[in-house]
Every structure is written in structure tokens, then in C-alpha cells.
Structure 1
Amino acid sequence: MGLCFSSTPTDEDESESHAQFEGGNVTLITTKNAWDEKLSEAKTQGKVVIANFSASWCGPCKAIAPHYVELSEKYPSLMFLTIDVDELTDFSTQLEVKATPTFFFFKNGQQIDRLVGANKPELQKKITTIVDSQVPTAHK
């Protein structure tokens, strides 16, 4: 499981696009206003939000990004967001993001879970648990 704690992005890192963190059904969040809008939208639609707090310079973030995109395509009933901690520093600090990647799980605007690190099996397990809990008992 990989973690990044801090880094000084190089000019090369700065010039990279966020393309590696987007795709599938993943929405890149670049402003606090966009975050608030998406959280409100998810609440209205009854969707659980999975928020990936990552950084363009973080190796483990880059490594898990394709898996995160795959999960977003596999579970369209969930809302997948990616937040660059360097773009939304104050917000990331407010949520106590101390390492990247950190995944937050929100339901009805409230945090219900969190996962720190690029742990694919654990991320899959948490998402499966959420999806299974949304299925009406009669259909299980």
C-alpha cells in the first residue's frame, strides 16, 4: 500500500494534466463550490460519494487512478470525485487529509467511511459493502 505525505511539485509535475485522474464516471473537482454542488446533487439523487483526495506528483495516486476509473464505470450508482490536494489545500486540511491518496465516503452529505492509501482490495471491499447495503433486502 503506497502513501505520499508531502512533496514539492516540480515544473514537470505542474505541467502534467489531470487526465490520469479523470475518465469513466470520475469528476475532477477544482473548487469548493463544485464540491458543494456535487455533494448536493448526490444527496438529491440518493447516491453515495467516493472522493479521492490525491496529488499529481504522488506515485501511489497515479498507480490507483486507473483502478478508480474502472470502479466508477462498474458502479454507476455511486458518484466518484477526484480532488487535487494542491488545488484545494484549505479544504483538504479541513478534512484532515494527511496522506495521499485518501478516499472519503459520503452518504447524505455525511462522511460514513475513509480509506488512506492506494489499497485496491480494501477500496473494492468498501465499495462492494456500500453497494450491497443499497440493494433492497428482497432482491439479494
Structure 2
Amino acid sequence: MGLCFSSTKDDEEPACHPHFTGGKVTVITTKDAWNQKLSEAKTQSKIAIANFSASWCGPCKSISTLYIELSEKHPSLMFLTIDVDELPELSTQWDVKATPTFFFLKDGQQIDKVVGANKPELQEKLTAIVDSNVPGDQK
């Protein structure tokens, strides 16, 4: 118990995604969990970054380490990961066309987006958002 093994059989429960977990990243597995986290972010005045990815996606895996590091570096933000295969209705709702896709959400509304495993762009947009949310006397 507590160990994750990859699954190749269709009739088994979804496999854990160890490459997407760690740091301060919350893996979203249900629509209720998604709604709860967005509500929490709004209540706490946090910006949420939603990483729509897939366990089979090489670029998703390659950027996951950076995403986890960013979650530890920026505790003022909420980091979420959604597997497009586990929550296809959420992926459709957000019109995800490629993985990974990162949405930056404020009060549940999209304020920015990065499509693809573009590490410099993800860091740049995240830094800009963090800087824009720091009160003047804390910069």
C-alpha cells in the first residue's frame, strides 16, 4: 500500500501519477475536487495554475519537475494537475487541445495560458503574475 505501479489493463483503476505529484501540487481526480479547489483559491485570494496533462505525455513528464519546484517556490499560488484522460469532461469544458496546457485562473476565470512544455514561458508568465499580485510595499 502507498506504492504506485503503472497500469496497462483497461479494467483496472487509474494508475497513480508520481511524476505529477510532489511539492505543493494537488492532483485533481474529480469535478467536485476541481470546484472545491477553485472555491478555496477564490476565498484565499490565490491565483490557481491548472496543469492539464496526461500520464503518457513525454513533454508533460519533462516539465513536471519544474512545475513541482515552482509550487514550492510560490506558496502564494495554488498548483493543480488534471489528467485529461481521467477528467475528459473538464478538458472539454476548458477546450484543452494539447498537453500540457497551463491555465492561470483568478476567481475561477482564465487570466493567462501556456500551451506546451515551454519552461521559459511558464516561468516568465508565473513570475509576471506573482509580481503583479504583490502589494507595492512588499516588492
With structure 2 as the length reference, what TM-score do the two structures score? 0.89
Report the AA paired with residue 52 of structure 2: F
Q: Find the aligned partners of 2:67 and 2:54 in 1 and give their Cα distance.
A: 14
- Structure with a larger share of its residues in helix: 1
2:46 pairs with 1:47: yes
Q: CA deviation at 1:132?
A: 0.2
| Pairing partner for 2:8 from 7, 11, 17 | 11
Give 1:16 shift: 4.9
Q: State how far apart, in whole Å, the 2-side matches of 1:127 and 1:78 are.
A: 9
For 1:67-78, what aligned pairs fall within 5 Å after superposition?
Answer: 67-78=66-77
Q: CA RMSD in A?
A: 1.7
1:99 maps onto 2:98 in alignment: yes
| SS of 2:122 mapped into structure 1 | helix
If asked which structure has higher relative contact order (CA below 8 Å, sep 6+), I would say: 1
Runs (4 or more) in structure 1 with deviation over 2 Å come to 14-17
Equivalent position of 1:117 in the other structure:
116
What code does the residue aligned with 2:8 have?
D
In the alignment, does 2:34 pair up with 1:35? Answer: yes
**Structure 1 residue 62 displacement after superposition:** 0.4
Once the 2 structures are TM-superposed, how far is the Cα of residue 136 of structure 1 from its aligned partner?
1.1
Q: Where in structure 2 are there 5+ consecutive unaligned residues? A: 1-6
- The count of aligned residue pairs is 131
3-state SS of the aligned residue for 2:43? helix
Distance in 2 of aligned mates of 1:113 and 1:61: 19
Within 1, Cα distance between the matches of 2:23 and 2:137?
30
